Structure 1
Amino acid sequence: MPESNSLPTTGTSIRPITGAAPSTEGRPRHLRPVWFVLLLLIPCLALTLYYYQYGVLTESSGGSLVPSTSYAFVLLLINLDLIGLVVLTLLLSRNLIKAYFERRHRLVGSGFRAKLVAAFIGFSLIPTVLLAFVASRVVDKAVDVWFSDQIDHVMRDSFEVAKMHHAGHMTVAVNSARAISQEIFREDLMAPTQRDLLIAAMARARADHNVAGVEIYSAKMETLTKALAPEVPGQVIDLPIGQLVLQVINTKQEMTSVQEASNGRLIRAGVPILSSANRSEVDGVVVVDSYLPESLLAKMEGIGQRYAEYKQMRAMKNPIKAGAYLFVAVVTVMILFGATWFGFYVARSITVPIQRLAQATEAIAQGDLDVHIEAKATDEIGTLVESFNRMTADLRAGKAEIESANESLRRSNVEIERRRAYTQTVVDTIAAGLLSIDRQGRITTFNPSAERILGIWGDRVGNRAANEVFKEFKLDLFQTAYDRMLADQRDTLSLEGQVEAQGKVLTIGLSCSRMKDEAGRDLGFVLVFEDLTDLIKAQKAAAWQEVAQRIAHEIKNPLTPIQLSAQRLRKKYFEQAPDFDRIFDEGTQVIVNEVGSLKNMVDEFSKFARMPAPQMAEGSLHDVLREVIALYQGAHKDVEFLADFDEVLPSVRFDREQIKRVLVNLFNNGVQAMNQKGRLWVTTRYDGKRRRAVVSVADEGTGISSEDHEKLFMPYFSRKRTGTGLGLAISRRIITDHEGQIYAANNQPRGTVFTFELPV
């Protein structure tokens, strides 16, 4: 019996968890040659059976006394099998001898091992030997039955029947050809005048003789008629026949031929037709076809092949018996070997795990948690080993979680620092000024662009209260935006105003946004601002240049009829024209009308240029809308006004007169676009998310062309013959002063819709 650390172990072993090389202590060294021999022996046994069945039995030919190559290879494999069995027996004997000496030296567990192995050998030896004896007798009886004289007679008779069937087809074809030849000779059907009768007679003869085809050829090898069975494939009937006909004509003897096709075999019998005038001459040839289908041929050939294989196997009767006895012997030895080896395995699975647990406990006590005991047992010892492994796994997992948490925290800190540096770089390099305020109202960020625009150094405002900084540096625009964001609970706000910085008055465009985290919690505000002074100057210069050009154009329009009327009056006056009074009245009327148009245009421009600041007051937009609708309903009877008001719209701060003027301009545009007849829709809507009051005025007029869309709100742009082009420009100015927006779009299916928004 081998010592405890060298017994076969498949149930329990200790191995490290990490990448360290596993210890070889306790590994069963003798199992390596055992498994090596088994890996060689099992394929050898399989190859022996395979080559014996498919090599020796199929290659051996009856009557040959020289063994085949496969037979020699099988002998080699049998020798290898015997050598493997001898080696396994030696290895088994080695274990038994070790068990005997361990028992004599009274090693721990050796007595239990010896008894368990002896019990397994005893329990397996008697039934195995009995099974081997019975199997040998059964094999001997079975082989004798397989190769008995009765089976030999059956196989030989089947082969003879197949041969006789083939010969029968040949006989039928020859006899049919003879009978048809005699019928043709007797009835003198070869005469040219009997051709139709010949064709009909051959069709009848084919059916009477039940053959595949009847073909008649003249002495000059001309085809006179063919009567073919429809079930015979065309490619079989089309096989060449000229050689057979020629031989029959030349030899004046009966001839047969067998022709192979891909889907069957064609048997042909050719018989000469004697001449009625001279019986030594031949008038033609009768060819009768007999068809053997492929399925029938396959069965006939299979019978012949099986009979040949059976004769070869019968010659190997004694070697087959020897091989069967050898196989039974090998199985018997393998069973005994397996029982003995399983006894060693079970004994070891009981005694070794305790030793492994002690070793593993000692390793854990020394701080090594990378220990795992592999156990496949399902009894109490297996449960104990699994509990121990779970304990070490929990300790190892706790240690790994702590290390992973430390590593994750380190990576998070690195990532946070990287993002902070990246964000700080973006903040420092953007051209717009940026100022952030935390939830406590203290300034946390003041970038270099903000320092440049406002002329304030960041260290003077950093970490100070925003209200204190805005008051100290007179940043009233920033204070207003901050107060409104706090009071109205807004998420965004955009303002434009003037700020005094570095001794200059700057026009600042300011956008304020509320910062929130992923959970929606408020983090403070961020204010982004730009210096718009130069931009606004350029825009104003461009706008006034455009206005001047349009005013010049609009003034030229009435000056032309004034000049023409004055020239006409002067001409009629010097000519002393008899209709001077009428011409004078018309000319002066034109001048008065055009001067009035000029005056209206100048008045509108004055209003646009001197637009007063809005007087803001809390009020209802719906009241103003109802007032304007009532005014237009009385003046335009052919226009239907459809109102749809949002009842949840809250009150709005606005200048009542200026908003009323915007509505009048929009209503005028809609009524004129519909030629004083149609429907006008007026709707209101409250956008709670953006905190905006939305008013829409839609008509079903001609709509807006794509080229006019961009110019719609520019001063002195109008497509109406009597328009000044200032109505929509004034409306846009009013809405902009109210911090709102106005825009236009095409209505569906036709018309225009004007929409303006006011902050709530």
Structure 2
Amino acid sequence: MPELNPPKSALGMVAPGSADPAVPPNRRDAPEAERKTPHLRPVWVVLILLVSCLALTVYYSQVVMPAGEETDSFLPTTSYAFVLLLLNLDLIGFVVLTLLLSRNLIKAYFERRHRLVGSGFRTKLIAAFIGFSLIPTVLLALVASGLVNKAVDVWFNEQIEKVMKDSYEVARMQHAGHIALAVNSARAIGQELFREDLLVPEQRDLLAAAMARKRTEYGVAGIEVFSAKMETLTKALDPEVPAGVLDLPISQLVLQVINGKQEFTSVQEAQMGRLVRAGIPVASSSRRGELEGVVVVEAYVPESLLTKMEGIGRQYAEYKQIKAMKNPIKAGAYLFVAVITVLIVFSATWFGFYVARSITVPIQRLAEATEAVAQGDLSVKIEAKATDEIGTLIDSFNRMTEDLQGSKSKLEQANISLRQTNVELDRRRAYIETVVDTIAAGLMSIDRNGIITTYNPSAERILGLSADRFRGRSANEAFKEFGLDLFQTAYDRMLADDRDDVALDGQLDVQGKLVTIGLNASRMRDEANKDFGFVLVFEDLTELIKAQKTAAWQEVARRVAHEIKNPLTPIQLSAQRLRKKFLEKAPDFDRVFDDATNVIINEVTSLKHMVDEFSKFARLPAPQMVRQSLHDVIQEVVTLYRSAHKDIELLVELDEDLPPINYDREQLRRVLVNLFDNAIQAMNQKGRLWVSTKYDTKRKRAVVTVADEGPGIAPEDQERLFVPYFTRKKSGTGLGLAIVRRIITDHEGQIQAGNNQPRGAVFTFDLPV
């Protein structure tokens, strides 16, 4: 049983299992097995002594003293002094145990008074155990005490004593009756032998018959007659008496009678019972003063009767001894009941302390460990042993501290990594800010709340407006205030159509001067595809467009001059030939005239056709947008070419997920016709032509691809492919692909050309959805 002595507090007492303030903190963290020093505690000693004394009391009262005697007694047999000593030792143990119990209860009281950790719960738990055990135990003790008092009074009342005394007298009288029977019978027989003179040799037969008759008459076990010389004259023995009893030695008794010349009695014990003998001298009738013989009468006491007689005698003697110990027996019984009561209360109190300690000690360890964790010590570990829910809580706490320590280590590493990352990010941010501030293009960023956050110096230069007038303001308010309609249009399209990018160009009035702006707006997204707003990059294209226009018109003038010069040469030659033949009055003038005029007419027709194509390119109408399916116009053109070109295999793959889009049906039909014509001419009217559509969900664009298996596009022609009047065909004008690009651009799309694999060319254009 563990000791009920809690560790010391400020007043010398703290809760069981609480940490001793004198113990250093590092020792508190040591395993509990190291902190415990084995020693024999006072409670163990007292309990061992008390239980030993109680056991000895019971043992000596019930086992030791009655040993070796017949055990018909219903009361214990023990010595008064030894029992009194044991009772005193029991009383001392009871007092010491009560003091120890009181000491622990007083400690618990002072612990609660000083509000030590767990003292309140421990006190309540101990009080509950004591209360639940004290009431029934006290009631049981009172009832037991009453029963003991009544039982002792019943044992030692006058009626029992009278019965015991009468029983003893009856037993004593029974024993005296057997002796009296033997003596009286022997006297009567001796007188008759003397009177009848039956001991003479002539009366031997009559003597034997007379003794047999007398034995039956007196009811004795046997009659033996001896001469003065100790010779056996006759025997009359009861055949029912065991032979081993009647064979007991008799010579000593006969010798005593002869020598003493008086009667003697003897009591001899046998295995089967007791034999009482009475010897009477028989005087000689002829010789005065001499003995003629001795008659011995034997009375047999059976073993069963003997046992009862002895038992009654022993019990009466013991009763008189025990009666003298009536008060000590009562005191011992009361003390036994009191000790049992105290043991029950002590057990309940100890169990309360044990249960409370098993709960409060881990709780206190948890509180101390929690305080250590709160101070930043994550290496703390609770060593308290528990197997219930408290043990689960302790295990969870230990795992939590281990996880926290691991997390702290990881957090420190992450913090170091984060610092390095922040330094890198600061460096990159500074680099990006430097790039943004130094790039020639204007840059403006708008967050997802519509607030302008970035406005670089190039934007100030291009728009002539300082950054302070834009940063931190709503984009819609700033665009409206400064008349930035092009920016407002791009921003509205990004919001309305949920586009990822928009490309526009137009003119703005910057400080009274028209400036051509090329604007590209893109949506900013992170790796998780989360929207962060928009970035607008714009350039002043005034000088660039002016230079491009100059260069374009120079190229157009050169190409037009070249195209006009080509037909003028045959016209000039035909006119000169015609004039020569006319002046010569040549006989073949009519034939020459006809040939020359045909040449002139054909070349003029060619010039007219070229001028018409140029006019068409110059006055290409604005697209009329209608929301409709892109697949309808593709299927229409595919059907037309399948019926017109039998040697062309058209392979069509259309994306069913592509939604309807806004486009001009006639212009887009012209785009497809131009691309199909170029592909068929490249394949010399024979081969496979692929047409496919795809919906780019991320960019929200409709992608159309037209591919052939012709000779492909030469690398040097890639950059000039969409330039007006550039062609590799003998009869081409070089305006077909330029018109295609113009239409796609008017639809806010883009077109690209490249080589197909393994051979051929591929044209890809995309339109906004």
Normalised by the shorter chain, which TM-score bucket?
A: 0.3 to 0.5
Larger radius of gyration: 2
If the length of structure 1 is used for normalisation, what is the TM-score? Answer: 0.46
Query: TM-score, with normalisation over the residues of structure 2?
Result: 0.45
